[in-house]
Amino acid sequence: MKHLIFVLLVSLPGLVAAELTAPLQSPDLDVFDTESLRRGAKLYGERCIGCHSLKHMRYKRIQKDLKLSDEDLKTLFPWLDKPTGTMTTAMPPDDAEKWFGLPTPDLSERIRARGADWVYTFLRSFYQDDGRPFGVNNWVFNDVGMPHVLWDLQGTQKAVVKDEKGTPVIKKLELVSPGSLTKKEFDLAVNDLVNFLNYVAEPAQIKRKKIGKYVLFYLIVLAFIMYRLKKVYWKEIH
Ligand code: HEC
């Protein structure tokens, strides 16, 4: 019996990895890191908004939460005339259908459905595949319909495939030609992007977490006052 449990425990990680296809990695998320959120917003404006709207997010809200002047906002989103309205995409849904064969999803809340680890790993897991329309595939999203829009930053990756009982299985991705960023810089840039998307999914978390700190402080002060009061009352009774 002990032997059986041991075998199961040893083989468990292998089974899980096979199911998940690629091992997911976790980004560092911090809604109070305004600099990271700004960098993420800028990259989103440069590389993603052409296809993916963030229809629940208002420019005014970003401006307020990320403490941006009108000028800062203009640096982040140079095409923006006035900081009004929501972050819709410039591409009409019909064109998206025509070019990609499917509507490009709004990303306001996708990070909640997929999880930040999935999105972080997804954006770093494109690899060369000449059989696909855009010449790339993705390790966590097989036959993905999205081109590798960050390829010039990351460079080109190749899948290292091993044959396992007749089925080719990807073991890892290898950088074959570097992009303009080092691996570390690229990971940080994607981290900022995911941090931004995580903030967009629930902008109120900035306020909620701040209020949480105040409430805790208030409770501690209250507990202290109650303790002093109790001492005073008990003195009178004795
Ligand atoms: C040229 C258009 C285009 C651009 C630019 C683009 N995407 Fe995509 N993206 C797509 C399409 C199309 C899909 C749907 C893929 C599918 O279902 O096969 C997709 C899917 C996704 C998904 C998966 C959504 C889900 O849960 O199924 C994420 C996350 C994503 N994109 C993030 C990004 C980010 C972040 C950027 C900017 C760095 C970006 N995309 C830029 C076209 C684009």
Per-residue pLDDT, 2: 56
Instruction: Say which residues have a Cβ less than 8 Å from residue 190's Cβ, sequence separation at least 6.
Output: 27, 120, 123, 124, 150
Token couple for 123: 């954006």
CA nearest neighbour of 57 among 78, 77, 27, 32: 77
Residues of the chain below pLDDT 70: 1-20, 90-102, 238
| Alpha-carbon span 39 to 43, nearest angstrom | 6
What is the Å distance from ligand 1's center to 167 Cα? 28
CA distances from 179 to 91, 132, 154, 185 (A): 27, 21, 5, 11
| Alpha-carbon span 141 to 124, nearest angstrom | 11
Residue nearest to atom 25 of ligand 1 (CA): 110
CA nearest neighbour of 46 among 7, 77, 74, 21: 77
Contact 64, 231 (CB under 8 A): no
Per-residue pLDDT, 3: 60
Per-residue pLDDT, 16: 40
Which residue reads 């002093």 in tokens?
Answer: 228
CA nearest neighbour of 96 among 143, 46, 147: 147
Mutate to test the pocket of ligand 1, among 53, 94, 104, 129 (most ligand atoms within 8 A of CB): 104
Per-residue pLDDT, 89: 77
CA nearest neighbour of 138 among 32, 149, 49: 149
Which residue reads 């978390």 in tokens?
Answer: 205
Instruction: Say which residues have a Cβ less than 8 Å from residue 14's Cβ, sequence separation at least 6.
Output: none
Per-residue pLDDT, 103: 72
End-to-end C-alpha distance for the chain, whole angstroms: 65
Residue nearest to atom 5 of ligand 1 (CA): 48
Contact 128, 138 (CB under 8 A): no
Which ligand 1 atom sits nearest the alpha carbon of residue 122?
A: 29
Ligand 1 pocket: which residues have CB below 6 Å?
Answer: 47-48, 50-52, 100, 102, 104-105, 107, 110, 114, 119, 122-123, 144-147, 149-150, 193
| Alpha-carbon span 139 to 159, nearest angstrom | 8
